[in-house]
Amino acid sequence: MMKAVEGYNISMEEIHHTKKLDAPSGTAITLAEGVIENTSKKAWELGEKASEENIAIVAKRIPEVPGTHSVWYDSEVDTIEIKHTAHNRKGFALGAVIAAEWISDKTGVFSMKDVLNIR
């Protein structure tokens, strides 16, 4: 949707519990890759600042945070924020069960896009 709109800088933030060791998270990388596929951005960079052609991803680790992902489109006139905040880990567990049930009679390599029938 934002592909044709000029003048916005794109950045991301992901927050997880302190026991999560990878940074940025796989979800943040997947989100960044989706933005890159649909914009002129070339890559993502971990940290507060990124070159103009890349997306900055800030990764924070805070105790007892199941997961929060934010994508910002920022311009001189406004900021558009898309945000998902998990309140607990039940949704992640349900997703794992749904994926396990879906794949039980299949062979091959699949992603959650296959499970959710997202093209």
State yes or no: is 20 an active-site residue. Answer: yes
What does the longest C-alpha to C-alpha distance in the chain come to? Answer: 52
CA–CA–CA angle 45, 48, 25 (5° rounding): 55
- Residues 13, 60 contacting (CB under 8 angstroms): yes
Which is catalytic among the residues 3, 17, 19, 20?
20
DSSP for residue 62: -
Phi, psi at residue 78, to the nearest 5°? -165, 175
Which is catalytic among the residues 16, 42, 60, 69?
16
Cis peptide upstream of residue 66 (ω within 30 degrees of 0): no
State yes or no: is 87 an active-site residue. Answer: no
Positions annotated as catalytic residues are 16, 20
